Amino acid sequence: MISFRLLQYKIIALYWVRVIMKSILFYFSTIQLLFTIMPAVFAQSIDINGAWDSTLSGSSGVMQDDRGTILFTMNYKDGNSDVYTGTRSGNQLDVCAYQGIETFESCFSGTIQDAQLISLTTVSCTNKTDFDICAKIPASFDLLRASDTSISLRGAWRVSDTQFYQVSDQAGQLTLMEIDEASGDTETLSGTRNGATGQVCSDDGDGFCANIYVDSSTSLRFEIVSCDSPGACAEDPIGKSGVLTKVY
């Protein structure tokens, strides 16, 4: 009788040991899974949209991350620019020069270190002309977050009580639709933005070009720098400036 009860106790004890061991294994498996998933989730949550300064020749660029699809434009001091497209997965970027626009083939792999730093490595580069662009691209360089990158210009901006601009701001490309409620006139301007500055010009060829300056998320300054005809210059003379206030 004693031996039978002892056997029962051993069976019960063995059962609970197995239950406890399974619980412990499940706990550690869950912890391991969290440590595997959380860094990727955190990395994907880092917002990389906006303007970046490159340690490569002091150039600047604008990044757009549309749910993992990357569009990146680089602007240089000599007025030239490059366009790159690619993908993002977690904290990793892979982009290549957009063919059909660029005169060279190049690809880069990047690591998003944090919201202020992206480290890029040159994967490949092939010249398509006699000009050796690849020789100017280092093996690695960094993108540093520009101070004004979080400001989006998309929305409606008021110039006066009756004059508004509807602004589209996407990956450094600006489109402004003017709406004049008093006269009923409309006009479209387009151009580019690099961080806190940009320039737009009338699309119809009989208007003006203006520099714009981003002061804050709700305030823009503009200054007209050229005009296309005597009539356009009379209406919007060179040197005319003003402030746009965001209304929504």
What are the tens digits of pLDDT across the range 29-75? 544 544 444 444 444 568 888 778 888 766 778 888 888 999 888 87
Does 150 reside within a domain?
Answer: no
Residues pairing with 209 in the sheet: 201, 226
Q: Which of 197, 118, 119 is nearest to 151 (CA)?
A: 197
End residue of a domain, out of 99, 114, 145: 145
Number of domain units in the chain: 3
Q: Are residues 224 and 209 in the same domain?
A: yes
pLDDT digits (tens, 9 = 90+) for 171-194: 778 889 888 877 777 788 999 887
Q: Are residues 133 and 71 in the same domain?
A: yes
| DSSP H or E stretch at residue 63 | strand 60-66
End residue of a domain, out of 115, 145, 175: 145
The domain spanning residue 196 has which CATH number? 2.40.128.30
Residue 214: which region, alpha, beta or left (left: phi > 0; alpha: psi -120 to 50)? beta
Q: Which domain holds residue 16?
A: 1-45
Does pTM top 0.75 for this prediction? no
End residue of a domain, out of 145, 176, 204: 145
Q: Are residues 60 and 34 in the same domain?
A: no
Predicted pLDDT at 86: 95
Q: What is the pLDDT along the chain (248 residues), one digit of tens a residue?
A: 445 565 555 566 666 656 566 666 555 554 454 444 444 444 456 888 877 888 876 677 888 888 899 988 887 776 677 889 999 999 999 999 887 666 788 999 999 998 778 999 999 999 888 888 888 888 998 888 775 545 778 888 998 888 888 898 877 788 898 888 777 777 889 998 877 788 999 988 888 999 988 877 788 889 999 998 998 899 889 999 989 998 87
What letter would DSSP give residue 26?
A: H
Predicted pLDDT at 12: 64
Q: Are residues 106 and 86 in the same domain?
A: yes
For every residue of 118-163, DSSP letters joined together read EEEEEEEEEESSSS--GGGS-SEEEEEE-TTTT----EEEESSSSE
Q: Are residues 31 and 94 in the same domain?
A: no
Residues pairing with 148 in the sheet: none
